[in-house]
């Protein structure tokens, strides 16, 4: 059984993707940037604030799918300036200090808009209740 989650963002139909996809007990959350429901950037020129906002967005979509942060087993973090890794890491730690998912942090040449400093994907697996 597959369930797609959408935010209604114009990019979802233009590119052909979902905000998140649930298959069984596995949830994949698409690359997420610091844009609010109005399409406005949150945390201009501040990678820490952008990272916090992105993780809050991820937390919301996984909750909508019936998951919790503790179900996240992997995050993938893409930044445009690796020298700011400590600020990204500080925000990530605030959400995942005790969870400690497998994590990858890489520098990329650019994201879809130059104002985006960080993009994060997440994978979650919900343990079945017995």
CB 21 within 8 A of CB 5: yes
pLDDT digits (tens, 9 = 90+) for 67-125: 999 999 999 999 999 999 999 999 999 999 999 999 999 999 999 999 999 999 999 99
pLDDT tier at 129, thresholds 50, 70, 90: low
The full set of domain ranges for the chain reads 2-125
CATH architecture of 2-125: 2-Layer Sandwich (3.30)
Give dist(CA 56, CA 34) in Å, integer: 10
**Length of the chain in residues, anyone?**
130
Residue 130: what pLDDT?
42
């Amino acid at each position: 059984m597959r369930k797609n989650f959408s935010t209604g963002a114009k990019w979802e139909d233009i590119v052909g993707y979902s905000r998140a996809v649930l298959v069984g007990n596995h949830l994949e959350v698409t690359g997420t940037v610091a844009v609010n429901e109005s399409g406005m950037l949150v945390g201009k020129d501040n990678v820490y604030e952008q990272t916090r906002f992105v993780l809050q967005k991820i937390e919301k979509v996984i909750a909508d799918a019936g998951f919790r942060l503790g179900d996240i087993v992997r995050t993938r973090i893409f930044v445009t300036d690796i020298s700011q890794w400590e600020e990204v890491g500080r925000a990530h730690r605030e959400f995942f200090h005790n969870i400690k998912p497998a994590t990858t942090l890489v520098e990329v040449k650019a994201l879809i808009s130059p104002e985006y400093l960080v993009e994060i994907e997440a994978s979650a697996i919900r343990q079945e209740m017995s």
